[in-house]
Amino acid sequence: MAIGYVKSNLEHNKLHKEQIQKIKLKYKTPVELKWEKASPSRLEMYYELIEYFFSSDLQFRCALVKYKEHLNHVEFNQGSHDLFYYKIIFYLLTNSFFNPNDQNEYHVYLDIANTRGRDRIKKIQEILKNLYRGKSPFTHFQHIRSHESPILQLTDFLIGAVSYKSRLVKGEILNPSPIKLKIIDRIEALSGYSLDESSEPWDIKFNVFDHQPKKQV
């Protein structure tokens, strides 16, 4: 299980969307960018997109849960997987290096395919509103479809790489995809991290939080 985001400054948001789309069209790829459909014929495009991310002011953060089978929702989450989901989203948005006093406002866009709709958004907003005593910096939440947003597609692609590397190390992938291994190698080379491990917690460019629930005895 992996949940993450790509963060963009509002002033540069349009530029990033245009540049990602421009790279896709350069390689005659107007279709949606998806990790699951990584194709050997598009390797150079993937490399260019990855290099664009690392050369830009875009930021990536991901929470990786390696051992879902060790999660004890009864003891720690009041028997609710949803409550665990909210905890992960909360941590994802408000890690220890997030400054709630920076006077910025944040808009959060969620992939509609990976959530349970309005109820989850309302609950997340409620939690953050209570935490910040009615003055949450996260002022806007919205579901969008990934094909509508090149930045969301890039997010999905990076999350896919992190999750794939973790599954590979755990031995869950017996016949790994050569193209995906090359993509992972390029991301690891540019980030300086192995994708199945935590990054330095203060790294805001490419941040992975490796959450490993302890096995119950």
Domain ranges, ordered by start, for the chain:
2-97+104-211
The enclosing H or E element of 3 equals: strand 2-7
- Phi first, then psi: what are they for 31, rounded to 5°? -75, 170
Closest CA to 152 of 20, 2, 43: 20
CATH class of 2-97+104-211: alpha beta
pTM, two decimals, is: 0.86
Tens digits of per-residue pLDDT, 41-83?
999 999 999 999 999 999 999 998 875 554 443 344 444 556 7
Tens digits of per-residue pLDDT, 81-128?
567 777 788 888 876 556 656 778 889 998 876 556 677 778 888 888
| Contacts for 175 with CB less than 8 Å, ≥ 6 apart | none
